Structure 1
């Protein structure tokens, strides 16, 4: 509160519309590439192994499992790094991962005979496609956290209440437009050109768009001082928290060691798992009051709301 009082709050009119539009445009370019891959990957997998949905199902499992297991790690990583570090890591990892995935898909579509002549190479390319796609999705998650959960909140801080609502609605509208139009655009390429052409266009998109995305979003970061100030405050707070945690770590480890030695095997296993970041995040979520409504919404999304891609 004291830190926010040291800096005079910006008025609503002081927000630079060109910078806000640049943020929207950068977010649009990033989401467009992610939505193209989300729609196309199922078609690629079906074409790679015709008359079977095995590869499509495997990729879905890999992507969902990686998000569930490593999603909490992505959130912690975003909190530990500065905004500009997260931005660079997000754009580099997302576009490079999708570029590798697009390249392996092109190789699989062009060299269709690998399935019979070189099964080892074929399976290796499929594995690289799955891993690269999953890494790209995780990178997209980092970008979503950075823009939607951090930058929008910081930029709207001190503004009228409707500012945050308006910015969130625009961000959401951008994602919905990409989710609607990117598959249509990709479908036109597949229908009127070829599946290979769509994979080539997807790879070229990631090569070209990453530079424009970086320029747009870095100009926003450099043009809005509150972003750099908030980033520095986050890092300072994180350093203080880590110093306090390290000071009490020895006592906690000693006490936990004594508890584990005197407790049963179930408590030992839970104690070991709680030290892992992915399980620790789920334990924190399970203690929240909204855990049951959240699970109910997840089940509804799983059974009803999720459309087949």
Structure 2
């Protein structure tokens, strides 16, 4: 039997992605997600151990990484779009990310403390500083070096996500077919894997740190897991690539871009002999000033830029049990175990969104004519042509045996995905708004800094309100998960295939812009007693995002095209 493209649907309606291929895809994603989530959580703890007593160091890390993503995420997406080999692109992101984490762990080892330093919720900064191997200027220099490595780690991690979610998955997973391997189901399963890693990685990291005599053992453990998992990640990616014909095919020979006058340009790929990661990366950096505006123009020319911007706006919020909020909870009297439980509860709600999402899409999708599927099928097939005339042929001259071309009514997946995103952002706003007065009241009743004695008043002294607060923060992650699933599939389906990675890179840049406002606010209001201002700003950001998404949905219902 001839090898048929994996991303197509056979005449009998069965998707080409086999069960084994699907499981290998999930294993490859699992390895990347585990390493990313474990280091993400560990880096927060390492920063708190190196600079205890406030949020400023954490905010500096966030600001640096956000600025780097703003400047270079678009170039990362463009590099992925231009690279003709999907395998070489993915392997490059893996090796650079793992190498950076290993070197970063060496830097953390020097500044997190001495051989007996452990992380406690209310330990005295002066007591901990006495055990540091490095102090003063040498410590700050090593920390700055670690920040630089953190930039590379973040960009390579985001490149890995873009390559897998926007370059591999849309090729492998059909939009309709058997329930287990449709695009919606694969997106949900991969998000579920990521969220499960987000649940288990903090438990594993914090549990390991609680039994070892020093936090330095945690640094060594993170480095060791990245070394051991590298070969398995390489094997899974290579096996999947070798088994799937469409992954082995080179991508489009040219990328359509706009110049400063709005004219369409065509840039041929460089020869494959010169297309190393370093060469393309240097070219991307050199062309940054000339390529950034076209990337923005491409982003805002799509039909889904408003819901994407709405999703990005939610990243301005600190009302999520991660990063700055974790440091705030530690400084407000919670133990590391309580913070881990809160983080786990949040991740469980977000994992729940990956189960709710596919089911909700089926329930929220009304029966409609096949015409409603057009926007969801054009981008999946436009690798065979680049002109609008060819896209019209795809719409009108489809395979008569394709279920989407039957003149029967079917589920309008487009509407279901849109409604899913609206429900997600509204539920997120409804759960986060009550947390603002709760934070204001609880912070008002405390006196900072809280001394390390066990009988000092803290958030744990207001147990019912604290539990209700953490429940609301955790429940908001269900809405955030649904929103992200919605915007991800909207971009996969309604952005042309040869522009998906560039679009995703610009999307990451906007996420970082709003994340930068989050971190700047944390740097300005760095004292735990000022956290109420950050909570208020976060509620405004989420409310604005809900309004923007709702307006876009209203325009969609009217049949309008929302473009600049």
Note the 1:194-209 alignment, pairs <5 A. Answer: 194-209=214-229
Quick one: structure 1 residues 305 and 50, their matched pair in 2 at CA, closer, same or farther if it must change by over 3 Å?
closer
RCO higher in 1 or 2 (8 Å CA, sep ≥ 6)? 1
Per the alignment, residue 107 of structure 1 pairs with: 110
Quick one: structure 1 residues 104 and 274, their matched pair in 2 at CA, closer, same or farther if it must change by over 3 Å?
closer
- Specify which of 86, 89, 94 is matched with residue 91 of structure 1: 94
* Structure 1 runs, 4 residues or longer, greater than 6 Å off: none
1:97 match: secondary structure:
helix
Unaligned runs of 5+ in 2: 115-131, 259-263, 269-286, 324-564
Q: How big is the shift at 1:244? A: 5.5
- Specify which of 174, 183, 196 is matched with residue 177 of structure 1: 196
Number of residue pairs aligned between Structure 1 and Structure 2: 274
Separation (CA, whole Å) in 2 of partners of 1:142 and 1:280: 20
TM-score (norm 1): 0.78
Task: Choose 22-31 or 281-290, whichever is displaced more.
Answer: 281-290
Separation (CA, whole Å) in 1 of partners of 2:257 and 2:298: 21
Q: Kindly indicate whether the alpha-carbon contact (under 8 Å) linking 2:8 and 2:174 is maintained by their aligned counterparts in 1.
A: no
Instruction: Note the alpha carbon deviations across 1:115-171, whole angstroms, 9 max, x for none.
Output: 14xx2x322211121111221111111111121112111112486274222211111
Task: Choose 50-59 or 74-83, whichever is displaced more.
Answer: 50-59
Larger Rg: 2
Q: What is the RMSD of the two structures over their aligned residues, measured on CA atoms?
A: 3.2
Per the alignment, residue 219 of structure 1 pairs with: 239
Instruction: Note the alpha carbon deviations across 1:238-289, whole angstroms, 9 max, x for none.
Output: 4999x96369xxxxxxxxxxxxxxxxxxxxxxxxx99433344234434555
Unaligned runs of 5+ in 1: 248-272
Note the 1:1-309 alignment, pairs <5 A. Answer: 10=10, 12=14, 14-81=16-83, 82-109=85-112, 112-116=132-136, 119=137, 121-157=138-174, 160=177, 162=179, 163-193=182-212, 194-229=214-249, 232=250, 234-238=251-255, 245=266, 275-288=289-302, 290-303=304-317, 306-309=320-323
Separation (CA, whole Å) in 2 of partners of 1:280 and 1:293: 20
TM-score (norm 2): 0.44
Q: Kindly indicate whether the alpha-carbon contact (under 8 Å) linking 1:26 and 1:216 is maintained by their aligned counterparts in 2.
A: yes
Separation (CA, whole Å) in 2 of partners of 1:171 and 1:295: 22
Q: Kindly indicate whether the alpha-carbon contact (under 8 Å) linking 1:106 and 1:196 is maintained by their aligned counterparts in 2.
A: yes
* Structure richer in helix, relative to its length: 1
Q: How big is the shift at 1:220? A: 0.5
